Amino acid sequence: MSADTNLKSRRQCAVPTRTIVGISELAVSTVGSGTLVTHSLGSCMGVSIHDPVAHVGGMLHAMMPLSAADPERARTKPGMYVDSGMTTLLERMFALGATKRNLVIRVAGGASNMDSDSVFRIGERNYTVLRKILWKNALFIQSEDVGGSKSRTMTLDLATGETTIKSNGVMRPL
Amino acid sequence: MTNTTLEMTSSEVGNPVNILIVDDSDIIRRMIARTIEMSGLPLSSIHEAANGREALSVLDRTWIDVVLADLNMPIMGGLELLDRTREDAALRDIPVIVVSTESCEERVDELEKRGVHAVVRKPFRPEQIRDVLLSITDRERPAARTDALGRAVDEVLPLLTFMNAIQLDAASLAPSSQTMMHARMGFSGSVSGILSALVPFSLARTMSENALGEPSSSKDADMIAGDTVGELLNTLAGTVVSDLGNGAAFDLAPPEVGTGSATDWADMQVQPTCAAFEVEGHTMLLNLNVR
């Protein structure tokens, strides 16, 4: 079950939902309460988008920069790549009534981990490709916590739009 | 040089700003323009110039609220442009943002001493340009002071030209294709800016005859009419600045008088800072930009 179908089934619940966005996944929500969370952002790119007017929130956890690497895979799992993930996330948020002008975009991840990833500078590539897609869509980054070598957890509060980053046991607003 | 006029949406507040981008690189000018458009500023127009000299020519004929300028450019660089604007009463207080590869701290300090609002290093992130622009435009911008213009006209016109004027709504006026005189002058003091005027030639001539107390000879009629419009502007500017600055000292630059066109009329009448006056069956426009 994908993250957003999960949300729909829980929409009736009174308890605020906490939806986990897994690696290579994306989720959107119009509930206006609860949180979207993604864990273990290393070289991956985490993107939190909130439209405070339309009460639409979304999150992406993309592993690699470009879907050209495996277009077939990108079709079935667009959240795997930064380019297809961002395009799909934005399209789905717009379909739910979000407007470009109101989007608040916060970005985390893109670390250069001390593993084989660093050979290909995946973190840097992910971040550059993300910036390119935002520039093409005429969108600004509101705030970011990128690079370095730490692992991050990103949480979007769907009621307030507040995004927090937890890394090395410390939680702070992004 | 290109000029893009952008539509404003009704949700935008504040006086729309006119921005001048000065860079010899077309790509950089376009990147800056894109960033400005993205930033959601209440935008009136974006003007572009490829060097300092082109920039001065834009500044000479257009009201600009903010300048973004490179330093290293052919013909005239950013430093000379900066110095020239600082010498000109009408341009002295324009906020200038330097967008350049300059990274030497001493030089950046020097630029800030010379009155540069901010220095953004190339290549820049779009967010940096937006933040600097917003830091300027978020400050309270002076409102249109057509009320002060009305008071000045009521005071000056009867004394100088023995005429009275009725203030009209400039925006709702019809276009004008009359032969007219165009005059502008800069002023600085506790408020600074530019006052410009479009006066139909026939009105200017009547004004000069009234001032002289006799008909001027047809030989020097043009010259005298131009001189009258210049003096009208001069006394109006003095009255307005004294009014807005509560009597504080000010400097007036000499008025420049030339001919105006239907395009000048159309451009001026839509400005929120423009006021129109009916004087003995003629209509004249005055435009007061202050910062």
Final residue before a domain boundary, out of B76, B111, B137: B137
B169, B176, B184: which is closest to B202 by C-alpha? B176
Domain that holds residue B282: 146-290
Chain B contact for A143 (CB, 8 A cutoff): no
B286 and B150 share a domain?
yes
Whether A140 sits inside 8 A of B34 (CB atoms) is: no
A141 CA to chain B: closest CA distance, Å? 7
Output the six-digit token pair for A130.
């993300």
Per-residue pLDDT of chain A (174 residues; tens, 9 = 90+): 445 545 555 555 556 789 999 999 999 999 888 999 999 999 999 999 999 999 999 999 999 999 999 999 999 999 999 999 999 999 999 999 999 999 999 999 999 866 555 556 889 999 999 999 999 999 999 999 999 989 999 999 999 999 999 999 999 999
- At residue B107, the pLDDT reads 84
Rounded CA-CA distance A22/B186 in Å is 62
> What 8-state DSSP symbol labels residue A81?
B
Confidence class for position B3, pLDDT limits 50, 70, 90: very low
Q: Please indicate, yes or no, whether residues B151 and B197 belong to a single structural domain of this protein.
A: yes
DSSP conformation class of B142: P
B214 shares a domain with B158: yes
One-letter amino acid for residue B67 of the chain: V
Q: Does the pLDDT at position B2 exceed 60?
A: no
C-alpha A29, offset from chain centre = 12
CA distance between the termini of chain A: 29
| A140 vs B contacts (CB less than 8 Å) | 38-39, 126-127, 130
**Pair of tokens at residue B198:** 């479009």
Which pairs with CB-CB distance under 8 Å and at least 24 residues apart come from A84-91?
Answer: A85/A26, A85/A47, A85/A60, A86/A47, A86/A60, A86/A62, A86/A130, A86/A133, A86/A134, A87/A133, A88/A26, A89/A26, A89/A28, A89/A47, A89/A49, A89/A58, A89/A59, A89/A60, A90/A49, A90/A137
The answer to whether B232 touches B156, Cβ cutoff 8 Å, is yes
pLDDT of residue B262: 92
Q: Where are the domains of chain A?
A: 3-173
**Same domain assignment for residues B123 and B196:** no
Say whether A140 and B37 touch across the interface (CB within 8 A): no
Question: Hey, are the CB atoms on A138 and B37 less than 8 Å from each other?
Answer: yes
pLDDT, averaged across chain B: 87
What CATH number is attached to the domain comprising B130? 3.40.50.2300
Cβ B24 vs Cβ B48: under 8 Å: no
A139 touches chain B (CB under 8 A): yes
Token pair of B178 as six digits:
């009359």
Q: Which residues from chain A sit within 8 angstroms of residue B8, using beta carbons?
A: none
- Residues of A marked active site are found at 44
Residue B106 has what pLDDT? 85
Is A99 an interface residue toward B (CB < 8 Å)?
no
Taking CB atoms and an 8 Å limit, are B38 and A140 in contact across chains?
Answer: yes
One domain for residues B125 and B32 = yes
Strand partners, A157: A35
Question: Would you say the ipTM is above 0.85?
Answer: no
Residues B204 and B249 in one domain: yes
Task: Specify whether B217 is located in the same domain as B118.
Answer: no
**Residue A132 near chain B (CB below 8 Å):** no
Residue B1 pLDDT: 42
Average per-residue pLDDT for chain A: 89
Distance CA A77, CA A63 (A): 11
Residue that finishes a domain, picked among B104, B120, B137: B137
Other C-beta atoms closer than 10 Å to the C-beta of B33 total 19
Q: Using an 8 Å Cβ cutoff, are B110 and B82 in contact?
A: no
Contact B268, B288 (CB under 8 A): no
What is the number of residues in chain A? 174
Q: What is the pLDDT of residue A130?
A: 96
Same domain, yes or no, for B101 and B199?
A: no
pLDDT tens by residue, B115-174: 899 999 999 999 999 999 988 876 655 667 888 999 999 999 988 999 999 999 998 898
> Is the pLDDT score of B253 beyond 90?
no
Domain shared by B113 and B239, yes or no:
no
3-state helix, strand, coil in chain A (%, to 5): 30, 30, 35
Q: Are residues B172 and B115 in the same domain?
A: no
What is the pLDDT, as a whole number, of residue B276?
95
Find the residue in A nearest to B130 (Cα).
Answer: A140
Count of residues for chain B? 291
Point out the domain boundary residue: B91, B108, B137.
B137
Minimal CA separation from B24 to chain A, in Å: 22
Q: Are residues B282 and B163 in the same domain?
A: yes
The CATH code belonging to domain A3-173 is: 3.30.1330.200
Q: How far is CA B289 from the centre of its chain?
A: 6
B139 SS3 class: coil
Predicted local distance difference test score (pLDDT) of residue A2: 47
Read off the DSSP letter of residue B255. Answer: P
- What pLDDT sits at residue B13? 45
CATH code at B255? 3.40.1550.10
State the pLDDT at residue A106.
Answer: 98
Q: Is B181 exposed, middle or buried (0-12, 13-18, 19+ CB in 10 A)?
A: buried
Q: How confident is the model at residue B191 (pLDDT cuts 50, 70, 90)?
A: confident
Which residues in chain A are contacts of B38 at CB distance < 8 A?
Answer: 138-140
Same domain, B178 and B251: yes
Q: How many domains are there within chain B?
A: 2
- CB-CB under 8 Å, B127 with A140: yes
In the three-class reduction of DSSP (H, G, I as helix; E, B as strand; rest coil), residue B206 is classed as helix
